[in-house]
Amino acid sequence: MSVYRAEYIWIDGTEPTKKLRSKTKIVPKGEEPPIWAFDGSSTQQATGDRSDCVLQPVHVVLDPIRGGDDKLVLCEVMLVSGEPHPTNTRRACVEASKRYGDFDSWFGIEQEYTFFKGARPLGFPDGGFPAPQGGYYCGVGADEVFGREVVEAHLDDCLKAGLRISGINAEVMPGQWEFQVGPLNAPDIGDQLWLARWLLYRAGEAFGIAATLYPKPVRGDWNGAGAHTNFSTRQMRESYEPILAAIEALKGRHSLHIENYGFGIEERLTGLHETASYKEFTFGVSHRGASVRIPWQVAKDRKGYIEDRRPNANMDPYVVSRLIMETVCGAATAGSKPRQMAAATA
């Protein structure tokens, strides 16, 4: 049969943290995946009496699971009027990316996540706790590593789909892992991260293991899960001054960023477990207890990028990348205005 399977993937309206949804459309070979629709009353995106929401394809990759000519089709959710749906955060990200296009912003996101088997994190015995943290980070061996079969299947799928995965590692808490996407411009970074998340959940199905983005999956002396967001503009990649200016701009809008960096951020950003307290903004070279870290190589080269360590694992990369552009590029744009203009608006 000359058709292919297109898996339409979209982001729903679940509060406080949106979820991924998908369904399959059979498309004639040689044709692009068309606009489609779904029942928004089942995804917290519409009421039953006006339930139709529209799926607008925006980012298509090969489907590494089905293979052949089959595709994964990431979509924006639209209203039937043609306007972006209120839950569509990608559109504003696209606009910010255009507005600050001259900066050529790059993002590299470290997505941490935690596997669950039933109600317990993978590697946690039913009635108690595993040995304390210390040996699990980048560990090896059946006593330290839990879920590598899923991690490897996921990495394979991401590479086959052509996603810009830059690495993976086992994390500090057992059953916790990380993959990195980027560096990429926005909204590509968001598209690829959402697709990689979908592939992660999908890979877990075959093993009966659920991947989660809970920011603090286990209370107590166990690391939370974040999504460190590494960021640079063309100017930051060329010299040090713009790096310090970017940090200054982020400092000035700390609470706005914290409010938009993922639900439950106060539970994770305690000031312990390689985090800075959400209550204050700090930065430092090589400092993993700071809100923003300047990697040692960057301090040495006097150019490069910064790491915003604040975002939660469950953050929306369209929101986080948009905010960083608005804050950093917005401040740089305002700062470069001619003096008489600044005076005229004062």
Binding site for Mn ion (CB under 5 A): 110, 178, 228
Residue of 12, 110, 157, 191 that binds ligand ADP (CB under 6 A): 110
Which residue has 């839990």 as its token pair?
Answer: 146
Element (H, E) at 192: helix 188-205
Q: What is the 3-class SS of 228-270, one letter each residue?
A: CEEEECCCCCCCCHHHHHHHHHHHHCHHHHHHCCCCCHHHHCC
Report 275-334 residues binding ligand ADP (CB under 6 A).
304-305, 307
Give whichever of 168 and 210 is closer to Mn ion, judged by the CB atom.
Answer: 168
User: Cβ contacts of residue 231 below 8 Å, gap of 6+?
Assistant: 105, 106, 107, 108, 246, 305, 306, 307, 308, 324, 328
Binding mask 203-222 for ligand ADP (x = CB under 6 A): --------------------
Which residue has 């569509």 as its token pair?
Answer: 88
**Of 4, 21, 138, whose CA–CA distance to 77 is shortest?**
21
Beta bridge partners of 322: none
- Counting contacts by CB under 6 A, is residue 180 touching ligand ADP? yes
- Counting contacts by CB under 6 A, is residue 112 touching ligand ADP? no
Binding mask 220-259 for ligand ADP (x = CB under 6 A): --------x-xxx----x----------------------
Residue 51 contact, options Mn ion, ligand ADP, none, Cβ 5-8 Å cut-off depending on partner type: none
Angle of CA points 178, 239, 280, to nearest 5°: 55
User: Cβ contacts of residue 59 below 8 Å, gap of 6+?
Assistant: 73, 74, 188, 191, 192, 195
Give whichever of 25 and 139 is closer to ligand ADP, judged by the CB atom.
Answer: 139
- Counting contacts by CB under 6 A, is residue 166 touching ligand ADP? yes
Residue 182 contact, options ligand ADP, Mn ion, none, Cβ 5-8 Å cut-off depending on partner type: ligand ADP
- Counting contacts by CB under 6 A, is residue 191 touching ligand ADP? no
Output the smallest distance, CB 180 to ligand ADP, in A: 4
CA distances, 7 to each of 34, 65, 76 (Å): 12, 11, 14
Output the smallest distance, CB 300 to Mn ion, in A: 18
Give whichever of 42 and 286 is closer to Mn ion, judged by the CB atom.
Answer: 286
Q: Provide the binding-site residues for ligand ADP, judged by CB under 6 A.
A: 106-108, 110, 166-167, 180, 182-183, 228, 230-232, 237, 304-305, 307
